[in-house]
Structure 1
Amino acid sequence: MTRKKAPKYQDAPPKVSDLNEAKVLIDELWEQLRHYEDKLTTSSKNSSKSPSSDSPKDRHERKKNESSGGRNSRGAKKGHTGHQRKLSPLKDTDIIIDCFPDSCPCCEQSDIDVHDGPYYRHQVFDIPKPTVDITEYRLFSGQCRHCKEAVKAQKPDDASQGIIGPNLLSYIGVLAGQYHLSVRKIQSLLKEQLGTTFSVGAISEAQTKVASMLTPLHQAIKQALKKAPLIHADETSHHRNDEQSLRWCWLVASDDLVYEQILYSRSTSSAKKVIDEDYAGIVVSDQCPSYNWIAADRHQLCWAHVKRNLQQMADYSGGGHTAYIGRHLCLLTNAIFHTRHRYEQDELNYALYLRRMRRLQKSFDHWLSKGTDVMVKRYRGRCKLLLKHRESLWVFLKKVSIPLTNNEAERCIRGFVIQRKISFGTTSDAGDKFRSRIHTLIETCKKRGLSAMSVLSEIITAVVAKRPYPNIFDL
């Protein structure tokens, strides 16, 4: 990443010729001061900053709110019934050790009539010492007795072409994609756990093979998403270690599918590559302009992003009319969420829910129009932008299945963000393909409650053995 250069200022202060110019200059400097003070007070509550970047004070406030019994407070809630671990079914290879009483603690006699079944079962889980199974193909040569021609044996068709077999390929893929390990950490783990050493190049080549084997699944998921009635879309930055410019990971998710692809830009053309222009369903997204080509009546804006932006307006350090309107808009936004939650918890019937939402919609539009006249330019523009896309704020009123937020996409893309922080960027197109395709598989498996390791192993085994490609997700 390149450091941002500090802004250049003139050596001498600006000069003015009359009071009008002085007033304009004071207003500009005052607004710039407010802007810098607002940036100092930004947090995950009123901006797109992550919670990990909050100051100690903001973290303390957040923890205090959680401990006061909020929605996200930790620990069991009042009235929560306890859970105990269930006994696991035993396999043929499991060991059973029967423990019988030695003597009676009362009379110390050993003549005890033992009951048929145990009164208590205690299970201890352990793993065998990990080992690597090596399959060695010994190819012999010979000479034909008739024509004296040299003859060489060939490897079986189902043999792996490289030195890493299907199960180990799956293991390496899941270690990188699901557990966010870098190539060197995978190399260290394999050496320590399995006692075998692979070069960094061999592990990178293994990931490239996995990406190639996931190509049919990756394309099938993209085609299947075109038929989904509702999708969530999001994007996040992606770094190439050998380049200055950013790339972007785009994500599209439905109820049971997730698709990720790394593209060169965050532009409208990139959005149209991951979301087909002919898509007729509902798209839920943030306020990124790349999605503005979607028809307003099919484009639901995320209210969580709207709330954060309005909260920044309410926290304006200059106070006055700007902060006053921002606070009203925040109160109305909180009321919209509260009404939706009450409906989802069956505390409101649909008719009452819709009537209250229409009333909140009218009030929100009223205060939003007031916000277009505030003195601060950036908040005035923010209110004008929301009014311009007003229809996209209320698409959720058409169907209760349309969510208020884009949290589903935020959750799905989190794995990619964590890997970016831990393993940094990639160095090639092959690395980009591996990350996007392995995360597509892993996040889809999460949605369907499947084991990513088992699914990946089944795909790789079928490809290596040259069997038909498995249709695991029934696409």
Structure 2
Amino acid sequence: GTEGVIDDAAGWEAHLDRLGIHLERHRRIATEGALLGTLAARGLTDLVVVSDDAGQFNVLQHALCWIHSERLIHTMLPLNEDHRQDIERVRDQLWGLYADLKAYKLKPRTRQRRRLERAFDALFTQKTRYQGLNELLKRLQQNKEELLRVLERPEIPLHTNDSERDVRDYVKKRKVSGGTRSDGGRRCRDTFISLKKTCRKLEVSFWDYLNDRINQAGLIPPLPDLVAAAAS
């Protein structure tokens, strides 16, 4: 490749070796940083990361998952009947706002955006009979910008459930097999799981895709072309 540019995985692995970065965790952090830097160098900085508020995901433009936020309220333990009623009422209000945000995503309007912002403030600044719930609502209200990121970027999801489903196969495989024995095995596992997930999202049979590639039939277009077509 061009001088100073690493254009394949083997070259990057060798570069990490030259830098004395050998621990897998450190190599992963360096690789993630390099990939993020590559996006920035290509001008792709207007990206949104939706997370459950874990610190490592607070990069680029950050949005928060509504499902995880609701879960914080759902898992609160009421001390009496008044507390239970207030928790249920707040949860009902939150799901109502969530439904309105889903509708906004389909047809964004400026007037509706202002109404949703007011509804957010009313929900998270209210006072209930449960002090613990009041403190949680106040904490969530401080995340207003990230919870309402969808108002300026309606194309992003309101939750991280799809991402969690994507990693579920990795977790199940690791529990069953106890992990891989080598970096090559790990890369092979990750590659095939990623291909299977991508095929499923594109509604392409993974079995047909593998047969097409093994037999070099060329009947199924390259997955990047299918992804680009689906996104257009």
TM-score of the superposition, structure 2-length normalised?
0.63
Q: Distance in 2 between matches of 1:326 and 1:271?
A: 43
Letter matched to residue 290 of structure 1: Q
Q: Distance in 2 between matches of 1:459 and 1:414?
A: 26
Instruction: Choose the corresponding residue for 1:403, options 143, 157, 169.
Output: 157
Q: Distance in 2 between matches of 1:418 and 1:364?
A: 38
Instruction: Choose the corresponding residue for 1:276, options 6, 24, 36.
Output: 36
State the partner residue of 2:54.
288
After superposition, the C-alpha distances for 1:271-297 in whole angstroms (9 at most, x for unaligned) are 9449615343112222222112x24xx
Aligned CA RMSD, in angstroms, stands at: 3.9
- The alignment-based identity, stated in percent, is 25
Richer in helix (by share): 2
TM-score of the superposition, structure 1-length normalised?
0.34
State the partner residue of 1:358.
117
State the partner residue of 1:448.
202
State the partner residue of 2:101.
340
State the partner residue of 1:309.
72
**Quick check: which has more Rg, 1 or 2?**
1
State the partner residue of 1:150.
none
Do residues 473 (structure 1) and 230 (structure 2) align? Answer: no
Q: Describe the shift of the 1:456–1:405 C-alpha distance in structure 2 as closer, same or farther (beyond 3 A).
A: same
Q: Describe the shift of the 1:391–1:325 C-alpha distance in structure 2 as closer, same or farther (beyond 3 A).
A: farther
| Native 8 Å contact 2:52 2:64 kept in 1 | yes
Q: How does 1:43-54 map to 2 (within 5 A)?
A: none
**Offset, 1:439:** 1.1
Do residues 386 (structure 1) and 140 (structure 2) align? Answer: yes
Q: Describe the shift of the 1:408–1:323 C-alpha distance in structure 2 as closer, same or farther (beyond 3 A).
A: same
**Offset, 1:341:** 4.5
Q: Which runs of 5+ in 1 are unaligned?
A: 1-215, 220-262, 463-469
Letter matched to residue 337 of structure 1: Y
State the partner residue of 2:131.
374
Q: Describe the shift of the 1:384–1:275 C-alpha distance in structure 2 as closer, same or farther (beyond 3 A).
A: farther
Q: Describe the shift of the 1:430–1:383 C-alpha distance in structure 2 as closer, same or farther (beyond 3 A).
A: farther
After superposition, the C-alpha distances for 1:43-77 in whole angstroms (9 at most, x for unaligned) are xxxxxxxxxxxxxxxxxxxxxxxxxxxxxxxxxxx
Q: Which has the higher contact order (CA 8 A, sep 6+)?
A: 1
**Offset, 1:323:** 5.4
**Offset, 1:391:** 1.3
Aligned residues: 194
**Offset, 1:357:** 1.3
State the partner residue of 2:15.
none
**Offset, 1:449:** 2.1
Q: Distance in 2 between matches of 1:310 and 1:270?
A: 36
